[in-house]
Chain A
Amino acid sequence: MTIGQILFNLFALFTLVMAAGVVLNKNAVNAALCLLLCLVGVAGLFVGLNAYLLAFLLLLVYAGAIVALFLFIVMLLDTRGDARPTLNRLPLVARILATGLILGGVASFLQRGRLVSPDIAGTVGVGAALKPYAYQLFTTYLLPVQILGFLLLIAMLGVIVLSKKFVGMEDIK
């Protein structure tokens, strides 16, 4: 095994352990920090796959901002963070759904979980990848990007409507 492969395996193991930590931790702050380290591990995996752009975008957006917001919310709502509903109280439907999803995921992974690795010589460098990436976003994947943007906009509007007290602004309501 080369150093690259060893590092890749280490990062994979690290990511899995941290992902388990997110689920198993009772303390919400610990769980959020495990999520952060899990994301750092995934970024490491991306670097191992020469996908530097993805790695840094993941760090910038998810590790740098989203998990910080998670922590912000956890700290605002419940500083202790150890009171969470036990698994027994989950409704039956949710349990069946979750089991089905996990089984489906594992089955699809077993069936077609093989990635055809691209020709290494044919892949472009980091900087050269920026332009095609952006080009793809604005041509082939324009519709999904727009739909996602719209979804985020709706979510934002929903948050404003739900959280804001429209006192003295009956005309807006």
Chain B
Amino acid sequence: MVEFYLQLHPVIQGLLKGLAVILVIFPIGGACSMAERKVSAWIQGRPGPNRASVPWISWIPFLGTFLQRLGIFHVMADGGKMLFKEDALPGHVNKFYFILAPIVAMIPALTTVTTVPFGAYLDEAGRVIPLALANVDIGLLAIFAVSSLGVYSLILAGWASNSKYPFLGGVRASAQLISYELSMTLSVVPLFLWVNEPGREATLGLGRVVEFQSQPGFMGGMWFLFIMPVSAFIFLTSLFAETNRQPFDMPESESDLVGGFHTEYGAFKWGLFFVAEYAHMVIGSAVFTLLFLGGWNPLPWVSLADMATWVHLADQPILLGVLSIGIFLGKVLAMIFFFMWVRWTVPRFRYDQVMEIGWKKLLPLAIANLLAYAIGIAIIQK
């Protein structure tokens, strides 16, 4: 199996790896939509979706009823509905861009996955090797660049729909996403100033950030969440705005814009927008985990290499790789739960408040944070 894989052309190997990661991201996106319904139900004190069931599975004692209560089968029911529902195309839209928009939504969401490292293993020399589709030095910049193209799907959807509410949603999206991109980029600069110590080869790679958080010692093993809480806060807030999550979901904002940019969409095209939003959330959570939560290190001050010696997996690269991916995915899913928790806790801002928070609060805070850390790092690292 492994030999057969290794003798394939590198391009085909790359395609297979990409397909594998997409096969993971896409169902997570679907499962997130279900999780959102369930989490919102728990937060609001109601049972949530718990009726759909598949006959043979629900006949299993305990497990079947448990899965039914959990609403697992609603994912399939929803997916099936979206696939087979009539996909009406309104007569007044610009057809080309109307159909293009959901596709454009998916492309950046799935392309950014290529540069996100999602696990690690130890080689014979005991070094930690990150697992990623493309381990590029430019790491975070590539993710920011490609994910910034996601705004076009919202603009195009709003414009092509050729009606008032979607149009307002599109205009809001274009202004909001650009505003928060600034704070987001500025918030991670101190982190990379800290990581790129003098005398080292400069890098923007996310693998290096995790490596930095897994050094021995009190300061070495500290996650960046504790060293740079302000950066983490700004990054997280901007992430909410960039992924259109409440309290920043101005482009769709059901209470004043009906459905915002996707008012005119139905069936699978509408579903694609949602899977793209959740894929953006998954990738945003993954980047936040890598930057501020120690990536695949199980706990602060406990690195993956330490853990490998405790559980005697140091010489088992495959098992350790699976374990590290498990730890990483666990953190990502916890972050996604946090996204949902905030959504059902914090009320939506008004549009002028969104702009004011972005330009008058977060951006000056990000610049002050950058200056303070730049001076501090210059003094510490000489």
Contact = CB atoms under 8 A, between A and B. Distances in A.
A65 B141 CA distance: 14
Contacts of B175: 72
A64 B181 CA distance: 10
Given A57-B141, A68-B178, A75 B167 contact: yes
| Interface of A: prevailing SS | helix
Contact of B174 (A56, A59, A71, A127): A71
B148 A69 contact: no
B145 interface: yes
A19 B181 CA distance: 27
A127 B181 contact: no
B152 A68 contact: yes
A59 B137 contact: no
Given A75-B167, A130-B204, A56 B142 contact: yes
A20 B144 CA distance: 28
Contacts of A60: 141, 144-145, 148
A53 B144 CA distance: 12
Contacts of B158: 75
> Which residue, of A53, A59, A60, has the highest number of chain B Cβ atoms within 10 A?
A60
B149 A127 contact: no
A65 B171 contact: no
B340 interface: no
B159 A75 contact: yes
Interface residues of A, number: 26
Which size bracket describes the interface of B in this complex?
A: 20 to 34
A130 B192 CA distance: 12
A75 B171 contact: yes
A29 B159 CA distance: 9
Contacts of B203: 127, 130
Contact of B205 (A68, A72, A127): A127
A131 B202 contact: yes
B155 A68 contact: yes
Interface of B: 97, 136-138, 141-142, 144-146, 148-149, 151-152, 155-156, 158-159, 167, 170-171, 174-175, 177-178, 181, 196, 201-205
Q: For the complex of A and B, list the 5 residue pairs with the smallest distance between their C-beta atoms, beginning with the closest.
A: A64-B148, A127-B137, A59-B145, A131-B202, A60-B145
19 contacts: A29-B159, A52-B136, A60-B144, A64-B148, A64-B149, A65-B178, A68-B155, A68-B178, A69-B178, A71-B152, A71-B155, A72-B175, A75-B159, A76-B171, A127-B137, A127-B203, A130-B202, A130-B203, A131-B202
Given A59-B149, A75-B171, A79-B159, 20 more contacts: A29-B97, A59-B148, A60-B141, A60-B148, A63-B145, A64-B144, A64-B181, A65-B148, A68-B151, A68-B177, A69-B178, A72-B174, A75-B155, A75-B167, A75-B174, A127-B205, A128-B201, A130-B137, A130-B202, A131-B201
